Structure 1
């Protein structure tokens, strides 16, 4: 038990350290990874009939997905933001349904959707990230 708590504390401190030094792109990657981990944990809890654990894990996954939705920048690409907002809303509805039905197949489906988004996000080059940061800053300051 002590060893498990130690590992959990290490992971938590490691995550805090990673977030403290992360650029916005990395923060989104960490959020997506966190959502995937919570969904996997929720699946395990369903398999073990750990209903309290299931509720905590899936609630956390929904909160992370809501954070991803809140991080969307409408100024950059409004059509893409609309599509992602709809997809994130769909995911949270599916997680709720999976929780009620105790259906891990639905969670697998949501995890597949997140993996697709994360895969595309992970493909963004450093040069493209820098260009996007500059464009966002110009849009916010009104300079061109």
Structure 2
């Protein structure tokens, strides 16, 4: 009974979210899946590590695909950061290397923090 209610809530929160809220959900997901992947590598759970690295890669591919690089140098720089993160995730997945995950995880968290700060500044500017 509660599971169904939660699924409806979760589905509605995605369906009715603004573009900004969806972006924040994506970057939160990237951090979550990267942390799960890192722990799975430590635990030698190859399948779980692979699945969660791929989820994180997919999020960054989506971020790259939807980034308007014609909007300035900052967008080009973000694209380069996203590409670098994806390359490191690919390498970590191939090697199942926790050190690479330790290198890339702070970058993923930084991306999340940048978008949260941008959303907060936009909200304050519109208030």
Q: Shorter-chain-normalised TM-score: which range?
A: 0.7 to 0.9
* Residue in structure 2 matching 1:27, options 19, 22, 28: 22
Q: 1:37-87 CA deviation, whole Å, 9 max, x = no partner?
A: 111111121122111111111111100111111121234x23112111111
**Candidates 69, 85, 89, aligned match of 2:79:** 85
Number of aligned pairs?
126
Distance 2:4 2:37 in 1: 20
C-alpha displacement at 1:29, in angstroms? 0.6
Measure the CA separation in 1 of the matches of 2:120 and 2:19.
12
SS at match of 2:17: coil
Please state if 1:15 is matched with 2:10. yes
Aligned-pair CA distance for 1:108: 2.5
- Structure 2 Cα separation of the partners of residues 7 and 50 of structure 1: 30
TM-score normalised by L of structure 1: 0.73
TM-score normalized with structure 2 length: 0.82
2:114 match: 120
Determine which structure has greater relative contact order: mean sequence separation of CA pairs < 8 Å that are 6+ residues apart, divided by chain length. 2
Unaligned residue ranges in structure 2 (runs of 5+): none
Judge which range, 104-113 or 119-128, deviates more: 119-128
Task: Identify the match of residue 40 of structure 1 among 35, 39, 46.
Answer: 35
1:122 Cα offset (Å): 1.1
Q: What is the Cα-based RMSD across aligned positions, in Å?
A: 2.7
Larger Rg: 1
Question: Could you say which residue in structure 2 is the equivalent of 1:102?
Answer: 96
Higher helix share: 2
Q: Which runs of 4+ in 1 moved over 3 A?
A: 6-15, 129-132
